[in-house]
Chains A and B, each alone.
Chain A
Amino acid sequence: MDVSVTVNGTTYARDVEPRKLLIHFLRDDLDLTGSHIGCDTGNCGACSVLVDGVLVKCCMLLAVQANGASIETVEGISENGELTPLQQSFNEHHALQCGYCTPGMLMSATALLRENPSPSEDEIKKALQGNICRCTGYWNIVEAVKAVGK
């Protein structure tokens, strides 16, 4: 089926099998490999992206369902190659180790901060509940997000 999506401002038109998951489409068809796959049950959140501004795990979405949508992925967060305050805060607080869950964490944090610019620690934990990290124990990630909150 024909699918046209806009990812980080660029519009891509492709012919895809209906069965293809959006995450496979992004990674394999569009070579946007920043979003990751950490599970096969929708639990880990490594594939979290924003679809029309809504935070979703794109392993539970078919690529064809995203037809016409505007998608934001980790590749689109930085402005002209520079780290954003959120990314800098992750760096300062050592909020990543292997970095595999980080793109999904950043997207979840981005969605949170857009709605709630100064979240409490509990609000941050709840916002990150859908993203598994096996390296950090989350403490530094929560700190990093708290620090960018106004």
Chain B
Amino acid sequence: MLLREVEYAKPGSVTEALELLAANDGARALAGGQTLINVMKARAASPDMLVDLNGLRELKGIELAGDGTLTIGAMTTYTEIMRSAEAKARPILGEVCATIADVQVRNRGTIGGNVCSNDPTNHLPPLMVAVGATMTVLGAGGTREVPAEEFFLGVYMTAAGPGELLTKISIPAGKKDGFAAVTLGAEGTCIANAAATVNGSVRVALGCVDAVPVVVTADSPDGVADAVRAAGLEPPSDVHASAEYRLHLATVVATRAAEEAASR
């Protein structure tokens, strides 16, 4: 409640949005606002300007290419992904989106906002890393393609730097995916989560244990727990889980995600 003073701009195009972001050091892109607005209520952060990306058609939509590659606009909401026939090409996407928060949040919250805020408890950063997504970042310098694994730089920090925008996310075809989490109550905040993909070997991306998703690989789901233990994680402690407990949960959810992936 009661935000600090902020300017509001509603650009008519992505180009205009980029100009606004570049021209104002304190400007921040406003996607679904389901995280940013709450941080602003706490006045823990207070951008000087909000550049509202809602309504920019260029950033919306889901396309399925002939080779099965999905391209999802950054401003596509969780609800849109859940309901999209195209998105079923990678079923895990809709399944995970359906467990994020609640209807109201899913109606506003976007895939781009979720990955760009990169809160360690978010669902999508580990999922994007596991499925080997490619993020398209647009800036004054033009377009960059960043593999999800390199996209996440820190808490609330990504390769989409000041004056840049994540415009779309490409996800290769695939079905053998899994996602597992221990949450605070049913479908609540994640205490530990993991996304897995089986493509010959098992690739698991762990959330909640570090500033960015941590990737571990193994030949089979049975090897995942050891791989997690070998990763030398130092998870944060908080009111819901000590570092020790979170580390243990990481081994469990990683294994469960891998088993689910292998079973499909």
Bound together, the chains give a CA A92 to CA B216 distance in angstroms of: 54
Bound together, the chains give a CA A61 to CA B3 distance in angstroms of: 12
Judged by a CB distance under 8 angstroms, whether B187 is at the interface is yes
Bound together, the chains give a CA A127 to CA B1 distance in angstroms of: 25
Residues of A within 8 A of B175 (CB): none
Bound together, the chains give a CA A20 to CA B37 distance in angstroms of: 11
A60 touches B37 (CB 8 A): yes
How many residues of chain B have a CB within 8 Å of chain A? 27
How many residues of chain A have a CB within 8 Å of chain B? 31
Once A56-B107, A129-B103, A130-B104 are accepted as A-B contacts, the answer to whether A19 and B33 lie under 8 Å apart by CB is no
Bound together, the chains give a CA A45 to CA B101 distance in angstroms of: 12
A contacts, CB < 8 Å to B:
1, 17-21, 24, 37, 40-42, 45, 48, 54-57, 59-62, 64-65, 108, 111-112, 126-127, 129-131
A42 touches B37 (CB 8 A): yes
Residues of A within 8 A of B33 (CB): 60-62, 65
Judged by a CB distance under 8 angstroms, whether B231 is at the interface is no
Residues of A within 8 A of B2 (CB): 24
Q: State the total of A-B contacts with C-beta under 8 angstroms.
A: 79
Once A18-B6, A41-B38 are accepted as A-B contacts, the answer to whether A129 and B187 lie under 8 Å apart by CB is yes
Bound together, the chains give a CA A40 to CA B44 distance in angstroms of: 13
Bound together, the chains give a CA A59 to CA B36 distance in angstroms of: 12
B102 touches A129 (CB 8 A): yes
Judged by a CB distance under 8 angstroms, whether B52 is at the interface is yes
A40 touches B41 (CB 8 A): yes
A-B contact pairs, 7 of them (CB 8 A): A19-B5, A20-B3, A40-B1, A56-B104, A65-B52, A108-B103, A131-B102
Residues of B within 8 A of A59 (CB): 1, 37, 41
Judged by a CB distance under 8 angstroms, whether B155 is at the interface is no
Judged by a CB distance under 8 angstroms, whether B110 is at the interface is no
Residues of B within 8 A of A41 (CB): 38, 41-42
A57 touches B105 (CB 8 A): yes
- Taking the closest CB of chain A, its distance from the CB of B15, in whole angstroms, is 21
